[in-house]
Structure 1
Amino acid sequence: MSIRGLLFSMLALSSMGACGASYYIDNDGGDNGNDGLSPERAWKTLAKLSAHEAKPGDRFLFKRGCMWRGKTLDLKSGAPGNPVVYGNYGEGALPIIQPSVAFDDVSEWTEVQPGIWRTPEENVTIERLDVNQDLRASDWSIYTEPGADVSWSKKSNGDQVRYRISCAKRGKVETNIQFLGPDVPKLETSVLFRFKARSDKACQLPEFRVMRKGTPWTAFAMSSGKTEISSDWKEYEVLLIKHDAVPVDARLNIFVGTSLPEGGVLEIEPLELVNVDVGGYQPIKVDVGNIIFNHGEAYGWKKWGVDKLTNERDYYHDWGSGCVYLKSKENPAKAWESIEMALKRHGVHHGGAHDVVVDGIHVRYSAAHGFGGGSCKRIVIRNCDVSWIGGGVLYTRNGVHTRYGNGIEFWCAAEDCLVENNRIWQVYDVAISNQGNDKFAVQKNITYRNNLIWSCEQSYEYWRSPETALTENVSFVNNTCLDAGFGWSHDQRPNKIGTHVLAYHVVSQNKGIFIKDNVFCNAKDSLITLHNDWLKDLDMDYNLWWQESDAPFFRMRMKDGWSFLKTQLEECRAKTGQDKHSVFGKPEFVDSAAGDYRLKPGTLGTKSSSTGGVVGLQWVGKPQR
């Protein structure tokens, strides 16, 4: 670990004492009408917290034993040396941020076929309120990705604007072509999007969203079903149901990547957004990436059609209707006390944030990332639990669905970040990662230390592109990582890579990437997996490695690639130049059943770190499995 990294860590620790107001959030006994300045006058909801304008040094304290479900916690920024802090107060279990939806009432399930149960169908009532925004003179633009080819023009007639979109080549997925609308700075309710349109060829517009303008691409309100556009001018109304609080950086998007007919012309006249009150039952329009039964006793197996549901707990989420179909011998709510459907949204979003400390919060049941976001600086995540994360569909190409979800991820630009003393388990992809593909993004001074990781598909993943991107001084040190690829996602993944250290193609500039003083124990496929040779930029050493099975120790997945078994440690060292001082053997922990994964005094690894001390984590955890 570099001196710069150590100095930053000390600064992050000292910043906890910064001045500011303390606000308390209690989901059981709080009230949003309170001022939040004491436990007795606590706020209640995340919505109240989101609406509050934070100042540097403010502390937002969640009551232990409470849970906030269905929403993402969006972090607010502080100032250098004076961070905004998200922590806890009281006694009991860590406060929980849980962006899932519960279906544990027998009335919520209907048997539609023998052994196939369905959540309720849509039964929505709409009451028009007032106009949210007049769109007749609004500015729109077209976004295209490589492979798609469209041209567009804008024609004004008084206060009315008409857009003409000609498609030479449509995309492979809907996101390849997007019609980007105006900002939607205020969205208190669901909305109707009113517009006129016509298309000279058959055209079905599949999806309308109010979503974040930057990464991570989060939808706050979205439509359901497809809107068929006729060849005659007609007026259309599309309902966008609000699912989450809308930040100021949101806008209206129409996804048309595969919907525009090649050689065809689509014309649109935006009219207005109308606020509406939506009653009745609203089905799930956000992808269900996993179903967690009885808080981890069992989990769902995502399938892609009702006819594919063959085994108990197989499920299919019909994105059109929003209904979830589940294979079960009896009413699922009778079979299980708790049924949580993890939705494709982050648990905590740190994108664009700076000078923030998150200390002692449990984030679980998110089908995107536990902590996700980019363009961030001076973020500290410590003493948190992150569990049962990921599984949402990232994209679909040629009928193949790619799912995703990381425990803690820094995307593209990130500087001076510290992740320490956390427990992370049961993640679809990787527990911890810094990655991205922005041309000029910098990832610098990021430290991951003293974390306990188990049963994730991967423990640490790194990839960067293109050649202009820079990564400098990233340290993964003194972590204990167990059983990569032995979690919930492995067997249902199309791309099985159960490994502790994973690097997809790394072509960026790299200056100092350290993987040292860790314990890596057992992996389904290989302990280390690289997809191209960037070993000259990597400093991996002083680790304790153990592989119970005969799976490879080190695997290079590239043309003319190679792999080494645990019996070929010397050959691996000679080939890679890595792990020259590392040891290979079975770790002995103090008391794994009680959650104490420190190494027993006097056993292998207790005198083999880069400083002559103990490798792996240095703190006593809690029972976890």
Structure 2
Amino acid sequence: MRSAEWVRFFCSLCSVEMGGIIQSFKIGCKPDPGRSLRKSEELTNYSFSTTKNNGKMFMRHLLIIISLFFVITPGLFATTYFVDSSLGNDSSAGTTITAPWKTVHKINNSYFQPGDSILFKRDEIWKEYLNFPSSGNSGSPIVIGSYGGGNLPIITGRNEYAGWNDPTNWQSEGNNIWYRDQSYNPQRMWIDGNEVLRNEQIDSLDGIRYMWSWENSKIYVYSTANPAVSFNLMEVNVFYDAVRIDNQNYITLRDIEIRGGYAFSLAIRGCSHLTVKNCRIGSYARQGIQIRDNLGISSTYVTIGNCVLDSKFNFSYGKDKGIDDGIQMTTGANDCIVKNCVIRDFGHSAIYLKALSAADNGVFNNKIFRNLITGENVTYQRGLNTDGYENKCRDNEIFYNIIKNTNVRSQINGNNNWIHHNIIDGVKNSIVKSWGVGQSIDLQCYGTDLVCHDNKIDNNLIMNCDEPGITFSGNGNAKINNYVRNNIIFNCGRNSKSGYDSIGIAIQNSNSIKTNYFYNNCVFNGNENSPAVFLRGAFLTIEQFNTLNDTIDVASDNIQKDPLLSTPDSL
């Protein structure tokens, strides 16, 4: 807002609030309270004229007006900063497209006001670490976004491995294995632009499937000659996070791609009212997004929406090395939302809600909905995971999601979580496990002092799983007072490693499985008269399941009929 506009705005406030007190307000012109100022008038000298008896009252009101002016209008001071990695200069003001800043380092060492925008130029890349330093407020969030045309701007933690091309940095281990000092595990590596797979066993490096390993602060690489000579380029993750926001509030991050990070691409810690939308996150990283506490302050009201999280890890053999969760919410993530996202090809879980300590701030009141989750290009990824101590992972709602073509079960633990109206289709047994892990949902509750009670599994469509659609596993702590209601479980147990062929619901024979409730489910495997339930050592039809005289399990009004599913022509 230019100076003349400021004056007109301020004068209007004074005119309204001061009424008869102000007799004249002259700014480079003759007193005329009935006439508004023109932009062309000089803004040089000013004077106030008041009545004799109202001078003190005037000054008191004027101070109030000035105070209110600066409290209620912070967004009016907002500035837009532009960042261009090719043509920018950190010595520039950064406030115009023709004089932008250049580096992320400049942003890290600046201070921003509520309402400011920091815009990265599209089609540019920054191989730097962003640790954003400022907060907005409820009326004027800070925006981190993009400008121009082309692809999303990229901030990445993947970079050339420092010193790799110096032969003196490498020593031979023998058997074509070379090593050098490396203080941290970069998790992922690229040689000549292509990702190569890590193995935890150094003697398993063969130059075919497994090319590198990290152990005892050393990195090992398979090469028939010194790697500095054999390769043209070696890249690793060089930052723990690519983007990190600690204890800042009211920020919108949009229209940016965030890659790499040997822990996370995006770490949100101790933040409130932070929105991430229309971003691509997690390529080349170990994990996509972490939301957690920091300095004892939980992250609250964080929204992740309309984003694509894709690890770009595409190895279909061996156990996945170098990738973990797509979105991890832990130790203080409350009242957060993940919606309308695509999450694919991570290692442990697409979305993991965990509170694994009695002392942490908990993960509760979060909503996960309308997301598409898939893991068909990796060998071990579940759709969902909830775990927690008593009342630490609770009251989370997961609904309207599609989980398709994963290769390990979703695990639902904690207490009072509600899983409803999801489609879970095509969970296969992982090739890296010798036992069956291809269930749709497993209530397992392993781990010291973790709980699994009062969770609700309602109105889900579960189909085409290698193992039973829903399983209560015998290992771990008590599973009690959980409800399984109104689900369709179709064509499950199709390729069981655990002896559960054609079984839709499996309740193992264990004292850790207490009273749970099964109402109004439709379970069908192609035959209305064959067993559809495994109950504590016995194979039962649904009719037998409903009428059993069991002092522990409660089941009624379940049916064993073809649900007559069909695919609309438009799909």
Return the TM-score normalized by structure 2.
0.57
Query: Cα deviation per residue 1:216-247 (whole Å; 9 max; x = unaligned)?
Result: xxxxxxxxxxxxxxxxxxxxxxxxxxxxxxxx
The residue aligned with 2:358 is 466
2:442 alignment partner AA: R
1:450 alignment partner AA: N
**Deviation at residue 463 of structure 1 after TM alignment:** 1.2
- Residue segments in structure 1 that go unaligned for 5+ positions in a row: 1-16, 122-282, 391-404, 491-496, 587-602, 608-613, 616-625
The residue aligned with 1:277 is none
Contact 2:387–2:393 (Cα < 8 Å) also in 1: no
Give the count of matched residue pairs. Answer: 377
2:241 to 346, 360, 365: 346
Query: Cα deviation per residue 1:482-513 (whole Å; 9 max; x = unaligned)?
Result: 017x43xx6xxxxxx63111123343355531
3-state secondary structure, aligned to 1:47: helix
The residue aligned with 1:513 is 396
1: CA distance between counterparts of 2:375 and 2:93?
A: 46
1: CA distance between counterparts of 2:131 and 2:567?
A: 39
Find out whether 1:417 has 2:291 as its counterpart. Answer: no
| More moved, 458-467 vs 337-346 | 337-346
Contact 1:117–1:327 (Cα < 8 Å) also in 2: yes
2: CA distance between counterparts of 1:294 and 1:500?
A: 33
Find out whether 1:554 has 2:453 as its counterpart. Answer: no
2:407 alignment partner AA: K
Q: Provide closer, same or farther for how the CA distance between residues 112 and 476 of structure 1 changes in structure 2, counting only shifts above 3 A.
A: same
**Deviation at residue 74 of structure 1 after TM alignment:** 2.9
- Residue segments in structure 2 that go unaligned for 5+ positions in a row: 1-74, 312-321, 430-437, 453-461, 473-479, 493-564
1:289 alignment partner AA: Q
The residue aligned with 1:529 is 411
Written as runs of structure 1 = structure 2, the 5 A alignment for 1:262-273 is none
1: CA distance between counterparts of 2:283 and 2:273?
A: 26
Find out whether 1:453 has 2:343 as its counterpart. Answer: yes
Query: Cα deviation per residue 1:69-126 (whole Å; 9 max; x = unaligned)?
Result: 142443531112211111111122211111233149994457754774768x7xxxxx
The residue aligned with 2:159 is 101
The residue aligned with 1:225 is none
1: CA distance between counterparts of 2:491 and 2:114?
A: 48
**Deviation at residue 407 of structure 1 after TM alignment:** 0.9
2: CA distance between counterparts of 1:337 and 1:525?
A: 38
**Deviation at residue 370 of structure 1 after TM alignment:** 1.2
Query: Cα deviation per residue 1:580-606 (whole Å; 9 max; x = unaligned)?
Result: 3567699xxxxxxxxxxxxxxxx9688
Written as runs of structure 1 = structure 2, the 5 A alignment for 1:10-49 is 20-49=78-107
Find out whether 1:310 has 2:209 as its counterpart. Answer: no
Q: Provide closer, same or farther for how the CA distance between residues 32 and 466 of structure 1 changes in structure 2, counting only shifts above 3 A.
A: same
The residue aligned with 1:235 is none
1:376 to 244, 258, 271: 271
Q: Provide closer, same or farther for how the CA distance between residues 356 and 452 of structure 1 changes in structure 2, counting only shifts above 3 A.
A: same
1: CA distance between counterparts of 2:122 and 2:226?
A: 33
The residue aligned with 1:407 is 288
2:283 alignment partner AA: W
2: CA distance between counterparts of 1:376 and 1:116?
A: 48
2: CA distance between counterparts of 1:100 and 1:324?
A: 17
Q: Provide closer, same or farther for how the CA distance between residues 559 and 473 of structure 1 changes in structure 2, counting only shifts above 3 A.
A: closer
The residue aligned with 1:360 is 255
2: CA distance between counterparts of 1:102 and 1:30?
A: 22
Q: Provide closer, same or farther for how the CA distance between residues 46 and 316 of structure 1 changes in structure 2, counting only shifts above 3 A.
A: same
2:123 alignment partner AA: G
1: CA distance between counterparts of 2:185 and 2:446?
A: 36
2: CA distance between counterparts of 1:53 and 1:581?
A: 52
| More moved, 72-81 vs 351-360 | 72-81
Q: Provide closer, same or farther for how the CA distance between residues 116 and 544 of structure 1 changes in structure 2, counting only shifts above 3 A.
A: same
2: CA distance between counterparts of 1:349 and 1:65?
A: 22
2: CA distance between counterparts of 1:553 and 1:90?
A: 44
1:577 to 467, 470, 483: 483
Q: Which has the higher relative contact order, 1 or 2, with Cα contacts under 8 A spaced 6 or more apart?
A: 1
**Deviation at residue 286 of structure 1 after TM alignment:** 4.5
% identical equivalent positions: 16
Q: Provide closer, same or farther for how the CA distance between residues 298 and 503 of structure 1 changes in structure 2, counting only shifts above 3 A.
A: same
The residue aligned with 2:197 is 300
**Deviation at residue 444 of structure 1 after TM alignment:** 2.8
The residue aligned with 1:480 is 372
Contact 1:18–1:81 (Cα < 8 Å) also in 2: no
2: CA distance between counterparts of 1:579 and 1:481?
A: 23
1: CA distance between counterparts of 2:201 and 2:468?
A: 42
2:291 alignment partner AA: F
The residue aligned with 1:180 is none
3-state secondary structure, aligned to 2:98: helix
Contact 2:392–2:414 (Cα < 8 Å) also in 1: no
Query: Cα deviation per residue 1:36-69 (whole Å; 9 max; x = unaligned)?
Result: 0112101111111111111111111111111111
Query: Cα deviation per residue 1:246-299 (whole Å; 9 max; x = unaligned)?
Result: xxxxxxxxxxxxxxxxxxxxxxxxxxxxxxxxxxxxx8644422113465x433
3-state secondary structure, aligned to 1:388: coil
Find out whether 1:288 has 2:183 as its counterpart. Answer: no
Return the TM-score normalized by structure 1.
0.53
2: CA distance between counterparts of 1:467 and 1:105?
A: 42
Q: Provide closer, same or farther for how the CA distance between residues 49 and 606 of structure 1 changes in structure 2, counting only shifts above 3 A.
A: farther
Query: Cα deviation per residue 1:551-571 (whole Å; 9 max; x = unaligned)?
Result: 22222334699xx95675488
Q: Provide closer, same or farther for how the CA distance between residues 30 and 606 of structure 1 changes in structure 2, counting only shifts above 3 A.
A: farther
Contact 2:442–2:470 (Cα < 8 Å) also in 1: no
Cα RMSD, aligned residues only? 3.9
3-state secondary structure, aligned to 2:107: helix
The residue aligned with 2:457 is none
2: CA distance between counterparts of 1:293 and 1:585?
A: 43
1:529 alignment partner AA: Q
3-state secondary structure, aligned to 2:264: coil
Query: Cα deviation per residue 1:344-399 (whole Å; 9 max; x = unaligned)?
Result: 51111122111111101111121011111321101111111113354xxxxxxxxx
**Deviation at residue 448 of structure 1 after TM alignment:** 0.3
2:411 alignment partner AA: T
**Deviation at residue 21 of structure 1 after TM alignment:** 0.7
Q: Which has the higher strand share?
A: 1
3-state secondary structure, aligned to 1:48: helix
Contact 2:386–2:393 (Cα < 8 Å) also in 1: no
The residue aligned with 2:141 is 83
Q: Provide closer, same or farther for how the CA distance between residues 570 and 84 of structure 1 changes in structure 2, counting only shifts above 3 A.
A: closer
1:466 alignment partner AA: A
**Deviation at residue 470 of structure 1 after TM alignment:** 4.7
The structure having more radius of gyration, on CA atoms, is 2
2: CA distance between counterparts of 1:415 and 1:106?
A: 42
Find out whether 1:432 has 2:330 as its counterpart. Answer: no
Contact 1:346–1:367 (Cα < 8 Å) also in 2: yes
3-state secondary structure, aligned to 2:335: strand
**Deviation at residue 314 of structure 1 after TM alignment:** 2.3
1: CA distance between counterparts of 2:484 and 2:284?
A: 31
Q: Provide closer, same or farther for how the CA distance between residues 368 and 382 of structure 1 changes in structure 2, counting only shifts above 3 A.
A: same
1: CA distance between counterparts of 2:241 and 2:566?
A: 39
